[in-house]
Amino acid sequence: MTRSVNVVNSKGFLPKWNKQTLGHDLLSSVVVFLVALPLCMGIAIASGLPPQTGIITGIIGGLIVAPLSGCSLQISGPAAGLAVIVYELLREHGAEKLMIIVMLAGLVQLIVGYSRLAQWFRSVPPSVVHGMLSGIGVLLFAGQFHVMVDDTPKGTGINNLISIPMAVWKGIVPSDAAHHIAACVGLLTIAVILLWDKLKRGPVKFLPGSLIAISIATFVAWYYKLPINFVEIPESLFASIKGVNWSIVPKCMTWEILFDGVAVAFVAAAETLLTATAVDKLHKGERTNYDRELVAQGVGNMTAGFFGGLPMTGVMVRSGVNVSAGGKTRLSGFLHGAWLLLFVACLPFVVRMIPTCSLAALLVLTGWKLANFKEVISELKRFGKSEVAIYATTVILIVSVDLLTGVLTGVALSICKLLYIFSRLDIRIADDPDRNRTDIFLKGASTFLSLPRFAEALESVRPDTELHVHLEGLDYIDHACLDLVMNWEEQHLAGGGKLVIDWNRVEACYQDRRKQGRSQTTHEFRRVSDARPAIITEVKKESDGKGDSVGSEAISNVSETSDASRQVELATQANTNAYEIPLAAREEVETLKRPDNGHSGNSDS
């Protein structure tokens, strides 16, 4: 029976609160609001849209998504990780179709959340996730670097990277366009943020460095009346809101638009759920309900798309600030949206005093932190060079082609690596004609993909030899290869040979198959320490004639090597340790060795 996803608490739409947590949530919401305001405007500008679109998304993330959220302390709003995608979609489709794409992305998230499939959005290899974030960081850094000097981005990510030296030149050399003045304000913003993060102390430590930096840059620009660009926002936020143009919806029913909507939904959901997981590690309160969180994000994105806002995700910076500032319930996220609404409704003239280059500098620093090459590569190296290669490929393709191509290529490479691991089987054969013994050593995974090589190795064994198959280095064996060994055993025994293999190692995975009686001669061994003598026993299972049970076991050919040095010699020749038969069979061997039973050639099972 499928459980429903409860997205609204039983007492109504507003988040639960009480007197004990109200003070904490109130203070936290103010701090989060102060962090969110410049970020919302900066991300909107980086996306190629007016600043108010980012504020609209932040308001919706607080007033609508927060009460529905499955992660109680996560803050939702416009994300820097989606700015690059939105910029490309805006350039390709225009603002009206972008609204449809954002609504479609929300619908996809809503369906996936109600279908309880949210966990699948987390099934992305870490190397690809890090590659996606680093690639987005590079694009964000390169694009906003030009805006920081009051210039315009140069289109593609590659062009933005190549033209950075020119932007640096414009920022150094004075000109009539005042690029150098904007560059100074941008550098001032970055310097204040870095210094504040290192020097903040006491009760003001919760104040975000971005707010302090933007405030100082705004004051400097206002006091000296600098000839640079400032944020442009309409007198009335509500007058700037335009709903969806439903007349273009039939034109949007194309595979390209659908594919773009799914892509935005995937990236936004992955970032949201990864952030929720990180937030859970920061506090000891309510754990995340991922399906409910994705439903809330779907509702938020459909609403944001309808009102012309940016696509939203759960964002780590604002969520981390919410936890560190003492937020306790969903009320803190709800109130931060209310403060955003009140601010732009009552104090729009303050927003128009903020220099654009200051907001761009904030995003340049954000892009640099997202890239984080040194730390990411050090972490991935612990899991092998292949993970670093997948990460590097993802980053390069995101920067040089586009985000979706990079992510899909990274996932494809991860799948290829998985197939390689599960198809790699090292086979070594050691033949000793003097002892009429052959040893096959298996290392890796024995699956149907490696079955031809395994079969070729078995066919190369002499027909009358005693074959020892060593499974110590084997990580996995599937049904196909097990069938191969069991069928080959019949042919080998018919030709006068013998097979020695540790069936106990594989019988747990194929219990039903091993319950059937085996009429052939076989050897079943268990590993023991080198200090114990080797006992080699041949066990014969004879059918009782009915074909569905084992009648008796004849134990014969019992030989015991008591000389420890001889045992080590034999073990060295076979490149393996000594073995002994299972406990039950050893007890019957001891019974046969007793004087009163010495005349008997078999024992009832």
Neighbours of 237 (CB within 10 A): 19
Q: Are residues 353 and 482 in the same domain?
A: no
Q: Are residues 344 and 431 in the same domain?
A: no
Q: Are residues 334 and 461 in the same domain?
A: no
Query: Is residue 10 one of the residues assigned to a domain?
Result: no
Q: Are residues 28 and 175 in the same domain?
A: yes
Q: Are residues 360 and 437 in the same domain?
A: no
CB 285, CB 326: distance < 8 Å: no
DSSP element (H, E) containing 41: helix 19-46
The pLDDT > 90 percentage for the chain reads: 34
pTM above 0.85, yes or no: no
Alpha-carbon distance of 276 to 458, in angstroms, equals: 52
pLDDT tens string 488-501: 988 888 888 888 88
Non-local CB neighbours of 270 within 8 Å, separated by 6+ positions: 121, 122, 124, 129, 132
Query: Which residue do the tokens 């309808």 mark?
Result: 306
- Is residue 17 very low, low, confident or very high in pLDDT (cuts 50, 70, 90)? low
Tally of domains within the chain: 2
Tell me how many degrees the CA angle 303-33-35 measures, rounded to the nearest 5: 110
Q: Are residues 360 and 443 in the same domain?
A: no
Q: Are residues 456 and 545 in the same domain?
A: yes
Tell me how many degrees the CA angle 441-442-447 measures, rounded to the nearest 5: 155
- Mean residue pLDDT across the chain: 79
Q: Are residues 355 and 429 in the same domain?
A: no
Q: Give the torsion sign (CA, 87, 88, 92, 93).
A: negative
- Range of the structural domain that residue 243 is part of: 20-369
Query: Is residue 463 one of the residues assigned to a domain?
Result: yes
The CATH number that applies at residue 472 is 3.30.750.24
DSSP symbols for 519-581: -S-BB--EE--TTSPPEEEEEEEEE-SSSSSEEEEEEEEEEE---HHHHHHHHHHHTS--EE-
Alpha-carbon distance of 330 to 63, in angstroms, equals: 10
DSSP symbols for 217-243: HHHHHHHTT-SS-B----S-TGGG---
Query: Is residue 545 one of the residues assigned to a domain?
Result: yes
Widest distance between CA atoms in the chain: 114
Non-local CB neighbours of 367 within 8 Å, separated by 6+ positions: 80, 136, 137, 138, 139, 140, 141, 142, 144
Token pair recorded at residue 529: 């320490």
Alpha-carbon distance of 185 to 194, in angstroms, equals: 15
Query: Which residue do the tokens 């971005």 mark?
Result: 210
Query: Is residue 419 one of the residues assigned to a domain?
Result: no
pLDDT tens string 444-486: 888 888 888 889 999 999 888 999 988 878 877 787 888 888 8
Query: Is residue 375 one of the residues assigned to a domain?
Result: no
Alpha-carbon distance of 471 to 259, in angstroms, equals: 47
Q: What would the mean pLDDT of 152-174 be, rounded to a whole number?
A: 89
SS (H, E, C) 303-322: HHHHCCCCCEEEEHHHHHHH
CB 304, CB 60: distance < 8 Å: yes
Query: Is residue 11 one of the residues assigned to a domain?
Result: no
CA dihedral 262, 268, 269, 273 (to 10 degrees): 170
Where a domain ends, among 369, 388, 407? 369
CB 276, CB 290: distance < 8 Å: yes
Q: Are residues 353 and 488 in the same domain?
A: no
Q: Are residues 208 and 308 in the same domain?
A: yes
CB 241, CB 49: distance < 8 Å: no
Q: Which of 396, 479, 352 is nearest to 134 (CA)?
A: 396
Alpha-carbon distance of 225 to 479, in angstroms, equals: 78
pLDDT tens string 256-283: 999 999 989 988 998 898 888 888 888 8
Q: Are residues 442 and 558 in the same domain?
A: yes
Question: Would you give the end-to-end CA distance of the chain in angstroms?
Answer: 47
Helices (H), 477-528: 479-494, 503-507, 511-514
Q: Would you state the pLDDT for residue 581?
A: 39
Q: Would you state the pLDDT for residue 519?
A: 42
Q: Are residues 361 and 429 in the same domain?
A: no
Q: Is 239 exposed, middle or buried (0-12, 13-18, 19+ CB in 10 A)?
A: exposed
The HSE-up count of residue 510 (CA atoms within 13 Å, CB side) is 17
User: Which residues in 269-304 are b (16+ Cβ under 10 Å) and which e?
Assistant: bbbbbbbbeebbeeeeeeebbbbbbbbbbbbbbbbb
CB 319, CB 75: distance < 8 Å: yes
Q: Would you state the pLDDT for residue 136?
A: 84
Query: Is residue 386 one of the residues assigned to a domain?
Result: no
pLDDT tens string 386-412: 999 999 999 999 898 877 788 889 999
Check whether 221 has a pLDDT greater than 90.
yes
Neighbours of 235 (CB within 10 A): 9
Query: Is residue 165 one of the residues assigned to a domain?
Result: yes
Q: Would you state the pLDDT for residue 8?
A: 46
CB 74, CB 330: distance < 8 Å: no
Alpha-carbon distance of 37 to 175, in angstroms, equals: 32
